[in-house]
Amino acid sequence: MKLSVNDLNVFVNTPKDIAKLCEDLSCLGLEVESCIPCVAPKNVVVGKVLEKAPHKNAEKLSVCQVDVGKEVLPIVCGAKNVAPNQFVPVALNGALIGSITIAKTELRGVESCGMICSSSELGFPKINDGILELDESVGELVLGKELDEYAPFNTHVLEISLTPNRGDCLSVLGIAREISAFYNTPLKPIKALNFTPTSDLITLSVGENIESHLAYYLVCNHSLKTPLNVKLSLAHNNALSENDLNNFIEFSTHFSGVILNAYSLNITPIDLSVKNDENNLESVYINHQKRSIIAIKHQVQKDLSECLLLEASYIDPISLSLKLHALKDKTLQKDNALIYRSARGSNPNLSDGLNFLSAHLKATILESKQTKHSLKDRTLTFQLEDITEILGLAVEKEKIQSILKNLGFKVSAKEPNSKPQILEVIAPNFRHDIKTIQDIAEEILRFVGIDNLISKPLHCVSSKNSNPHYDTHRFFENLKHKALACGFKEVIHYVFYSKEKQQKLGFEVLEDPLELQNPITTELNTLRTSLVCGLLDASLRNKNLGFKSIALYEKGSVYNSKREEIQKLGFLASGLQKKESYPDAKGKAWDFYSFAECVSKVIGDFSLEKLTIQTPINHPYQSAKIIQNHEIIGVIAKIHPKVIQELDLFESYYAEIDASKLKRPAMLLKPFSIYPSSVRDLTLIIDENTAFSKIKKALKDAQIPNLSEILPLDIFKESDNTIALSVRCVIHSLEKTLNDEEVNSAVQKTLEILEKEFNARLKG
C-alpha cells in the first residue's frame, strides 16, 4: 500500500522527523518498505498563463505570456493542453529539472525565459498528457510562490507492507489511527454531514440470509471534475484513471477504508433490492436490473446523470472467502482489487465513507437508506496476569488501558474489587483480527516494543519425545552417515525396473497375477526385487563419465514375489578403492575382504557363511551369507566375471542387507581385563569342507575357561581333501595374570574339542 505523508495529515498531525515515523511504523508491525521524498525542485513557482499565441516558426509550439508574480515572462511551450487563465508550475532561470538546468534561451528564433512543467518533469507521477494545471485544492494559489511551499508538492510517499490480518490498515484512516495511538495525538475524524431528506424515492428491500451491511445516499448537484490533490493522491497509489467518478470513489475508499460504489440514476422512484443471484452471491438490483455483485464486481458508470446513488457496503471477510471458495462458476468476472480489500476486512463504519465521498463531490444529499444490520461486539475478558504470562513481561494496568483506549478499544474493570483484577475489553468493529487474548497481548507488545522484552532462559524439564518410528529413522540416518564416512555415495532409484534384466541376473520376480497392469515403459515394467540392479546401472553411468573409483550406497523399498514390501540396504564398490597417488602409483583395487570390512564399519561386526544357492550374478568362490546376531541378514559377493564382461563394468562387489533384521545395538557396559592377555597361534590339519563358523561355535559352546576369542589367520592346501588352517587363540582373565600352566591348559582343551568334533590335529 502506498500513501503520502500529506494524505496522513488529513486525519492526524504527523511528526516532522519522517525517518523516525518510518521506524516507529515498522516497530508497530506496519513495515515501511520504502520512503521516497516527493519535493518540487527549487525555483519552480506558481504562474498564470495570460496569453497563448502560435509560434511563428513551428506549428507544434506556442508562445505564452506567463505571470510569475514579479514579472510576465515569455515562455515557449509545446504542450497541447496549455491555455489562457491556467495556473501552472513554472521553472525559472536556474531551476534544475531532472538533469537539465533551465536558462534563458531562444527556441526557433523566439526568446523563452523558463519552462511550463508537467507532473513527471517535477518528479511526481504522471497526472495527464501535457503540462500540469494547478488548482485551489492544493492551497491558495499565489503567483510567484515556490511550489515546494505547498504540502502536496513537499511530501514523502511511503510504501507499507501489511500482513493479511490487518485489513483495517488498507486505508489512510487506518494508518492514521495507528499513528494517533502511538504518538498519543488526536485523530481528526471524518465529519458527519447534517442534512434533511427532501425526497422519498428509494424503496429498499433485502432478501433472506443477506449478510452484507449496506448504506445509500441519493445525491445531486455534484461536481465531477477531479481536483489536483485527489489526482496526486491516486497517482502516488497507481490508482488514477480517466473516469472522474471512479477517481472520487477510489479516493474515498483509499482514505476511509469503506467499500464504495455509485449508480447513475434519473429522478424517478427507485426500486432497490438486495438478494442472492444465480451463483448465490449477494447482488444489488435497481428496478429489477442487476447492477453489481457486493464486494466482488462493480459496474463502471460511463453515462452520468444529474443524480447519483452512492453505496457503501461491508461483508464479513470470512463469509466472503467461503462464498468465493464455494463458487462453481469459475468464469465469473471479478474485480481482484475489490475482493482484496473486502476479503481482508474493510471499514464497517459505512457513514464515514459516504460522508467523505459526498463532501468531496460537493453534492446535495436528497435521501439516505440503510439495511437493518448491526455488528455484534466482540468482548474479551482477561486478567493482567494473563498478559504477563503470554509476554513474559509485567505491564502496568494503566499502560494496558491507555494503549487499548488509544487504539479504539472500550476497556472496563469487570469486578473492580476482585483480586486478581479482571478487565473487560470490547474490540472496535474495524479490528477484524482481534479474537483472542493472544491478540490483545500482541497489541500491547506492539506499543511496548519487542526490544523491551527481557530475555529469559526457558525453564523446562525435557522428557523423551521420541517414538519407535523416530528411533528407527535416526538409526538408519546414522547408518547413512557412516556409509558416507566410509566413502560411499548415496544414490536413489525408481522402485520400477525391467523384469527381464532381473531374471537374467538371477533375482526373483513378481508372480504373474501381481505384475504391473499399466507399466510406465517397457524398461520399467515391474517392481524391483533387489537394489543391486540399480546400483549396477549407476556404476556403469559413473564409469562412462570417467570415474575409476566408485562406491555407492542405497536404502529403499524392494518387493518379493508376493509383492510384499521390504526395506533393504545396498552397497556396491567398483574399480579402485584408492585412486592413483603416491605410494600407490597404480591405485589399489577393491578386494572381497576390504569391501566386507567397509560394510562392517557401517552395519557393525558380522560373520560370513558359504552360500548354498548360487545365482548368475554371484562369483561362485567369493560370495557368502552375512550373519549377525545368529541370523542371516543379507548377502555379500563379488560380481561374476561374465556379468562384469557383459555389462562392461570394473571388477565389482556388492552387499544387500534386509534392513528389518538390523538391530539397533543396546548400550551394554561390561568390564575389561586390566591383566595382560596371552596369544597362541595353532596350525591345524582339518577337512577342507569344515566351516570356520562351526569351529567357532563348538569352542564357544564348550565354555573353555579364559579362552576369550579365536580368530582365523591363514589357510593353504595340505592334500586332496585337507587344509592347514592357522588360528589364533586369545587367552586372558579378568581376575589375574595367567601363568603358563593355565594358558597351556586352555590350549590343550581347545585341541581336544577340535579333535573330537572335527578330527583336527596339530600340524607336525
Beta strands 213-220 and 364-370, pairing class: antiparallel
Task: Write out the binding residues for Mg(2+).
Answer: 433, 439, 442-443
> For residue 71, what are the contacts with CB-CB under 8 A and spacing of at least 6?
none
Q: What would the CATH number be for the domain defined by 41-149?
A: 2.40.50.140
**CATH topology agreement for domains 378-452 and 678-762:** no
Residue that has been written with the C-alpha cell 525453564 in this structure: 459
pLDDT of res. 97: 93
Cα–Cα dist 635/653, whole Å: 11
pLDDT value for 187: 94
Q: What is the pLDDT of residues 147-161, one digit of tens each?
A: 999 999 999 999 999
- What rounded mean pLDDT belongs to the chain? 91
**pLDDT tens readout for residues 329-348:** 778 888 999 999 999 999 99
- Per-residue pLDDT tens over the stretch 94-148: 999 989 999 999 888 899 999 999 999 999 999 999 999 999 999 999 999 999 9
Q: Is pLDDT above 80 for 253?
A: yes
CA distances to 153, 235, 262, 287, 622 from 299, in Å: 34, 22, 9, 16, 84
- What is the radius of gyration, based on Cα positions, of the chain? 45
The pLDDT assigned to 422 comes to: 86
In CATH, the number for domain 378-452 is: 3.30.56.10
Binding residues: 433, 439, 442-443
Query: Of 383, 424, 395, 425, which Cα lies nearest the Cα of 407?
Result: 425
- Sign (positive or negative) of CA dihedral 560, 564, 570, 575: positive
Residue at grid coordinates 519407535: 468
- Mean pLDDT computed over 31-58: 94
Contact 228, 138 (CB under 8 A): yes
Tell me the CATH architecture of domain 2-38+157-183.
Answer: 2-Layer Sandwich (3.30)
Of 14-23, 292-301, 418-427, least confident by mean pLDDT is 418-427
Q: Is 599 helix (H, G, I), strand (E, B) or coil?
A: helix
Nearest-5° angle of CA 159, CA 161, CA 164?
145
pLDDT tens column, 644-678: 999 999 999 999 999 999 987 766 778 888 889 99
The residues spanned by each domain of the chain are 2-38+157-183, 41-149, 202-370, 378-452, 469-661, 678-762
Per-residue confidence (pLDDT) for residue 166, from 0 to 100 = 92
Q: Three-state SS for 367?
A: strand
Strands, E assignment, 518-591: 526-527, 549-559, 565-578, 588-589
Distances (CA, A) of 290 to 280, 300, 696, 747: 14, 13, 94, 107
Question: Using one digit for the tens of pLDDT, what is the confidence trace for 442-467?
Answer: 999 999 988 888 887 877 777 777 78
pTM for the whole structure: 0.63
Task: State the cell numbers at 617.
Answer: 550374478
Whether the per-residue pLDDT at 201 is higher than 70: the answer is yes
Which candidate, 265, 261, 113, places its Cα nearest to that of 201?
Answer: 265
Tell me which CATH code domain 678-762 carries. Answer: 3.30.70.380
- Strand duo 549-559 + 489-490: pairing: parallel
Are the beta carbons of 371 and 212 closer than 8 angstroms?
yes
Q: What is the DSSP string of 457-501?
A: -----------HHHHHHHHHHHHHHHHHHTTPEE----SEE-HHH
CB 205 within 8 A of CB 273: yes
Reading the block at residue 658, the C-alpha cell is: 534386509
Q: Is the omega angle on the peptide bond into residue 420 within 30 degrees of 0, that is, cis?
A: yes
Q: What is the CATH number of domain 469-661?
A: 3.30.930.10
Architecture of domain 202-370: 3-Layer(bba) Sandwich (3.50)
Tell me how far apart the alpha carbons of residues 556 and 493 are, in angstroms, rounded to a whole number.
8
Helix (H, G, I), strand (E, B) or coil at 378: strand
Q: What is the pLDDT of residues 371-391, one digit of tens each?
A: 987 788 889 998 888 898 888
Work out the average pLDDT over 210-235: 92
- Residue 332 CA to residue 540 CA, distance in Å, equals 56
**3 state SS for 94-125:** CCEECCEECCCEEECCEEECCEECCCCCCCCC
Over residues 519-570, the pLDDT tens digits come to 888 889 999 999 999 999 999 999 999 999 999 999 999 999 999 999 999 9
- In this predicted structure, what is the pLDDT of residue 79? 93
Rounded CA-CA distance 282/276 in Å is 4
Residue 303 reports pLDDT greater than 70: no
pLDDT, one tens digit per residue, over 696-726 is 889 999 999 999 899 999 998 888 889 999 9
